[in-house]
Amino acid sequence: MYRAFNAVFGKVSRIASPDVVGLVQLVKTVCQYYAMVLRQAFPANKSDIRSLQYVVDNCFSKIFDIKLKETVEECMREFNVSTVNDVIDARKRKFLAKYSVSENSLCQVFARVGNLR
C-alpha cells in the first residue's frame, strides 16, 4: 500500500489542494480495501492492524508534511477517514448483522457468538 501511495505522491507531490483531497481519498479507499481483505483472508491480530494503521498514518504525515501523531489523527477526522480498526469492526458488524437475520439456526448461533466478542 505504501509503495503505491509513494508512486502517486511522487507524481503529484504537494502541488495543489485538489490533489491533496484526491490523495486523501486514495488513502481512504485503499485502506478500507486492505482492511477488508485482511479481515477476510485471516483473523487479523493487533500487530497486523497496527502495521496497517502505521502505513495510513505515514501517508497522512507525508501528504500534510506533519510529524505529530495527534495532528495526523486530527487530519484523519477532518477528512472523515476511519482508523483501520474501525473499518474492520464496521465490516464485522455488518457481516454479523446479515448473518444473524438468516433463518438457518447454525448461522444464528455463530452470529450470537460473534456478537459476544
Q: What percent helix, strand, coil does the chain show, rounded to 5?
A: 80, 0, 20
The reported pLDDT for the residue numbered 71 is 92
Residue 112 Cα distances to 36, 94, 104, 116, angstroms? 21, 13, 13, 6
Q: Which three cell numbers stand for residue 87?
A: 473499518
Report if pTM > 0.75.
no
The reported pLDDT for the residue numbered 15 is 59
Residue-range domain boundaries for the chain: 2-83
Per the prediction, the chain carries an average pLDDT of 78
**Minimum mean pLDDT among 5-14, 62-71, 99-108: which range?**
5-14
Measured CA to CA, the distance from residue 35 to residue 56 in angstroms comes to: 11
Average pLDDT over residues 3-7: 71
More confident residue, 18 or 51: 51
The reported pLDDT for the residue numbered 38 is 66
Q: What is the pLDDT of residues 26-80, one digit of tens each?
A: 777 776 677 667 666 677 788 888 888 888 898 888 888 888 999 999 988 988 8
Scored b (16 or more CB within 10 A) or e, 84-101 reads beebbeebeeeebeebee
State yes or no: pLDDT of 11 exceeds 70.
no
